[in-house]
Amino acid sequence: MIAIITYISVLEKIKEIGILRAVGARKKDVSRVFKAETIIEGLISGGIGVIVTVLLNFAINSIAKITSPDLGANIASLSGIQALILIALSVVLTLIAGLLPAKMASKKEPVEALRTE
């Protein structure tokens, strides 16, 4: 899904890519723009995932405590290290998914990119 989002982002920003390349940005610079975008998407989506997980853990533990008091206090839990690992995994996966669209964006020729509507 991230690759599709990044690909659509490349298609929407063709003119911007052409302007960047026309004013002297290297292919590597254009690629870095899209890689940075995917890293930010990974951080945000990983953070949202961790927040949702913590909220669900709280709800699950509350329901379990009410329905079965003998089970214990915490059936579901997420430690800080696990949360950081999940966020890092999210960033790595989005970066991998964004490599192909970023490479595609960096190969756009400035004149062709500026001509497109």
pLDDT at position 70 is 76
Q: What SS3 string covers 55-71?
A: HHHHHHHHHHHHHCHHH
pLDDT tens figures, 93-115 = 999 988 888 888 888 788 877 77
3-state secondary structure of 48: helix
pLDDT at position 45 is 93
Confidence band of 46 (pLDDT split at 50, 70, 90): very high
pLDDT tens figures, 5-33 = 778 877 888 888 888 888 988 888 888 88
pLDDT at position 15 is 84
pTM for the full model? Answer: 0.79
Give the residue from 63, 32, 46, 55 showing the smallest Cα distance to 2.
46
Instruction: Decide: 57 and 77 in contact? Cβ < 8 Å.
Output: yes
pLDDT at position 115 is 77
pLDDT tens figures, 54-97 = 999 988 888 888 888 777 767 888 899 999 999 999 999 999 98
Q: Does 117 score more than 70 pLDDT? A: no
